[in-house]
């Protein structure tokens, strides 16, 4: 697959980008604050329930953590699994168990009261679950956002594989022997040529001839060759990590050649 680049937005979009960033920061701060409030309300209701059922002192304060911690641990594990591009069913089970248990126990802490009071006790754990999920989603988007690499031009590269063109070889004609000469054996068949190399990135065709000097080309020489071939400005990480790496992947012996700069200094 061709290397993807992201160009810096034009200067006219600076105000819009700053506004989006400020709104994202504001939403994150409000989410964190609301998450703390909902967890505190749920924690207080579970503490009341623990105190009414035989737990005193530090134990009554520690017991709610055994319920709400399931939600926190499960959401963090779900975030980790999302960054790894997989599903952690144990994390989903922990989150679901903690959420259901917190809602049921919060409602039970209301006791024998009017139905609206039970609804009031059910709101904090439900809100804690939804808000904490939104917070984890914002963290996931921040961690998985693509890196924007500054570039003066966008490299437009076709994903179609490019086959290196090799001139066809005409067969050597067999000359019949003269009558006075002994028959000559036919010439040995020419060694079978290797199959043409198929590069994923067509810019490799520009860099590959630089190895014909018997040295491993440097970043500056490859950048100049790409610019002369009309590929515009290419970042150094792409030149070394994508283009040169693919050339040497197909022909590993090229990576063992002496660097061109070292050879020039020695000369």
Q: What SS3 state is found at 162? A: strand
Residue 34's CB is within 10 A of a number of other CB atoms, namely 17
Q: Position of tokens 């197909």?
A: 250
**Partners of residue 198 on adjacent β-strands:** 163
What is the pLDDT at residue 187? 55
CA 33, 21, 130: angle at the middle one, nearest 5? 35
- Bigger pLDDT: 129 or 207? 207
Short-list 225, 234, 219, CA closest to 206: 225
Bin 105: left if φ > 0, else alpha if -120 < ψ < 50, else beta.
alpha
Confidence of residue 168 (pLDDT cuts 50, 70, 90): low
Sequence spans of domains, the chain: 18-143, 153-163+196-267
Q: Is the Cα dihedral 35, 37, 39, 41 positive or negative? A: negative
pTM for the model stands at 0.39
Lowest mean pLDDT among 41-45, 55-59, 161-165: 161-165
């Amino acid at each position: 697959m061709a290397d993807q680049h992201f160009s810096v937005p034009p200067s006219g979009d600076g105000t819009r980008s700053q506004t989006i960033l400020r709104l994202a920061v504001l939403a994150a701060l409000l989410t964190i604050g609301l998450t703390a409030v909902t967890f505190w309300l749920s924690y207080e209701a579970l503490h009341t329930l623990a105190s009414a059922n035989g737990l005193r002192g530090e134990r009554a304060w520690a017991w709610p953590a055994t319920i709400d911690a399931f939600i926190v641990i499960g959401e963090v594990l779900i975030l980790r699994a999302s960054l790894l591009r997989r599903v952690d069913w144990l994390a989903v089970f922990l989150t679901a168990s903690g959420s259901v248990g917190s809602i049921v126990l919060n409602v039970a802490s209301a006791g024998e009261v009017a139905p609206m009071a039970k609804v009031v006790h059910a709101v904090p754990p439900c809100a804690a679950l939804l808000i904490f999920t939104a917070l984890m989603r914002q963290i996931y988007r921040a961690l998985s956002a693509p890196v924007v690499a500054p570039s003066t031009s966008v490299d437009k590269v076709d994903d179609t594989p490019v086959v290196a063109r090799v001139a066809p070889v005409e067969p050597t004609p067999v000359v019949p022997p003269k009558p006075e000469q002994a028959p000559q054996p036919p010439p040995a068949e020419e060694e079978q040529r290797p199959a043409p190399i198929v590069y994923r990135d067509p810019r490799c065709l520009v860099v590959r001839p630089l190895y014909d000097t018997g040295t491993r080309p440097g970043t500056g020489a490859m950048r100049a060759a790409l610019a002369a071939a009309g590929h515009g400005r290419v970042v150094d990480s792409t030149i070394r990590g994508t283009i040169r790496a693919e050339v040497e992947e197909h022909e590993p012996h090229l990576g063992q050649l002496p660097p061109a700069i070292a050879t020039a200094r020695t000369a």
